[in-house]
Amino acid sequence: MAGASGAFGEGSASVENIANSPLSIYTFANFFNKLLLFLLPAIVGESIYKDFKSNFNNIFYSYPFSKAQYLFAKFTSAFLIVFIIAISIPIGLILGTKLPSVNPTQLLPFDATPYLQTIFIFTIPNLFLFSVIVFAVVLLSRNIYWGFIAIIIFWLLKEILFRLVGSDSMAGFIFDPFGENAIHYLTRYWSSAERNTFTLPLQSIIFYNRLVWLFVALIIFTITYRLFSFSQNALLPILKFKNRKSITKDNFGSITKVNLIKANFNFSFLHQIKTSWKLSQTDFNFIIKSPAFISILVVGILFIAAILLQMNPHTDTKPLPTTWIILGLPVFFYSFLIQILTFLYAGILVHRAKNSRTADLISATAVPNWVLLFSKFLALVKMQVLLLSLIMIVGIAIQLNNAFYQIEIGHYLFDLFAIHLIGFIIWAFLALFVQSIFNNTYLSLFLLILLALGISQFPSLGIENYLVRFNESPDSSFYLNYSDMNGYGHSLLPFFLYRFYWLLFGIFIYFFTLLIWQRELTNSVFERLTVAKNRYRGKLSFTLMISLICFLSFGFYIFQQQNLPGNNLFFEKNKTALLSQFQEKFGKYEYTKQPRITSVFVQLDIFPETHSFIANGNYTLVNKTN
């Protein structure tokens, strides 16, 4: 809100939009509403999961209270915290308009009505619905990670439904759990002045939507209440691991001679790499064999198929399912899902040993820290490769189904694993770093999601240079403009330059993560800092400094290239300055009578290999002022 009010200087806010208009308030609140969804498992889910995690549930079940009292107390106490956090959203928006540096021309007089309408008609009901879903899933599965997975699956199913029925249809209005489709439809033709002054269009369809989803939440809670019982086992058998066979020893009462195999110790670098690979395969199998990941995989396939099958334009011309079209839309929508899963499973893998109470055993093994950390990294990369491969598999199936046989396997591989995978690898480095800093998986996940969503808002804070915008590059969506004539055009080289720059940063934070990797028993931040200080020596300190020098040196090189006369990037402040210069220089000719161009003849020779062309032609100008 402060940035939209111009608090961070010229260029941080749009001169056409009022920051605290009712529609702007709704937009801000809706953004934070979706962000808070990923906090619900850590609040609502944790309220019920902590009983199972501490094995205290059996003691609780013996207490003299009813099932209704137990569930109501657990849910109400957790949702009260969610309510307090939700109330802080409008308070923060209001405080943002009160900063002394805001531009008064970007603000309307204070009115509490749009804040109250947004929070009580949209934010609180939405959070209540998803709180019930998370509470039910965690309660029945006794697994808090299923709370995160449930939110992701629900979001994917919502997108699939909108692809099938349309977001601007009556079904799209009713079955939208956020109620935003109706708002977007009712405000689609509003002018800039109307968006800045009109109140929210609270028509009957919006209230029908709110009542439908409130009823759905109550049904889910009722079903959960009936399914739950004070029993020992989880109520969703699909979420449990397969029963393992128990082996009963029968060699008691005699002395058994055991021939021990002589161990060959090998601590070479190549052997350590092999160890990392084998450990990563164990972690990767843990990921792909979990029912949660399998569920996301199935829904993800349906999501990709729904996008590709509904890619027809608004015109009557149906495009051919060429490879570049198949690759464009799914990756654009699917990439955020891969990011979320990277953040989530980075935390699961980092804290897996501690949660399974085998951390001390692993810490006692003769395996270096970098081998353990590298194995987690490889497991995440394998997961990302698997998820990206789904796009290629489903895409080829769609092409064959449409009798289109010009399948470009090389294009698939280059686009998915050379352009997109490197970005996810950089996120994997950061995810492992953040998850290693904090012992709380949910806090780390929330911070990572906040960063992923907040990067796009950096320009509103005056942060426009791509050298400080994590994992960003100019024209990052250039792959959507792929052409059979000139491929990716001139955008490919700068894209890889910036990606390599951030990859160097990822390598640096990988080595920095080794300093804070939790292996010793530490009970305070001071002890962890002491351990990190003791580790900062020898090869680790050398590689850490070399990676930092490489990162800074390459960043300085890009900075120099940015400031060359022909390579200036047009940031928002540059555009504003250029517009001011243009208006100052040519503004006096605004009302000068000039001839008009009535026709153009151009002979154009295009040379895609050299990204150049030769143009010859003429304009016909006619004086239409007489």
pLDDT value at residue 440: 83
Q: What is the pLDDT of residues 609-618, one digit of tens each?
A: 776 889 999 9
The rounded distance, in Å, linking the Cα atoms of 379 and 428 is 10
Kindly indicate the confidence band of residue 126, based on its pLDDT and cuts at 50, 70 and 90: very high
Angle CA(481)–CA(498)–CA(466) in degrees, nearest 5? 90
DSSP 357: T
Residue 182 to residue 168: CA distance in whole angstroms: 7
Neighbours of 477 (CB within 10 A): 10
The Cα-based distances of 222 to 81, 87, 616 in angstroms read 22, 27, 74
pLDDT tops 70 at residue 599: yes
Q: Determine which of 129-133, 213-217, 249-253 has the lowest per-residue pLDDT on average.
A: 249-253
| Alpha-carbon torsion (159, 154, 303, 170), positive or negative | negative
Residue showing tokens 């990606």 = 499
More confident residue, 283 or 59: 283
Query: How far from chain centre, in Å, is Cα 481?
Result: 23
Flag whether pLDDT at 574 surpasses 50: yes
Percentage of the chain with pLDDT > 90? Answer: 28
Amino acid at 284: F
Instruction: Supply the mean pLDDT for the chain.
Output: 83
DSSP 275-315: HHHHHHHHHHHHHHTSHHHHHHHHHHHHHHHHHHHT---SS
pLDDT at 584 over 80: no
pLDDT per residue over 496-525, tens digit each? Answer: 999 999 999 999 999 999 999 888 777 788
Check residue 317 and report its DSSP letter.
P
Looking at the predicted structure, is the pLDDT value of residue 5 above 80? Answer: no
Query: Residue with structure tokens 């060699």?
Result: 251
Region 560-579: mean pLDDT is 67
Q: Rounded CA gap, 145 and 292, in Å?
A: 8
Angle at Cα 332 formed by Cα 173 and Cα 175, nearest 5°? Answer: 15
pLDDT at 233: 62
Averaged over 44-60, what is the pLDDT? 80
CA distances from 359 to 115, 284, 373, 424 (A): 48, 18, 14, 28
Task: Considering only residues 215 and 50, tell me which one the structure prediction assigns the higher pLDDT.
Answer: 215
**pLDDT(2) > 60:** no
What pLDDT does residue 240 have? 46
Is a pLDDT exceeding 70 seen at residue 51? yes
Range picked from 41-50, 460-469, 519-528 for highest mean pLDDT? 41-50
Secondary structure, 3-state, 426-471: HHHHHHHHHHHHCCCHHHHHHHHHHHHHHHHHHHHHCCCCCCCCCC
One-letter amino acid of 243: N
Q: What are phi and psi of 487, to 5 degrees?
A: 65, -130
Residue 103: predicted pLDDT: 67
What's the pLDDT at 577? 66
Indicate the range of 262-271, 335-344, 404-413 predicted with least confidence: 262-271
Q: How confident is the model at residue 241 (pLDDT cuts 50, 70, 90)?
A: very low
CA distance 569 to 466: 10
Q: Kindly report, residue by residue over 534-543, the tens digit of the pLDDT.
A: 888 888 999 9
Percent of the chain with pLDDT over 70: 87
User: Helices 204-227 and 124-141, interaxial angle, to 10°?
Assistant: 20
pLDDT at 238: 45
| d(C-alpha 602, C-alpha 338), whole Å | 46
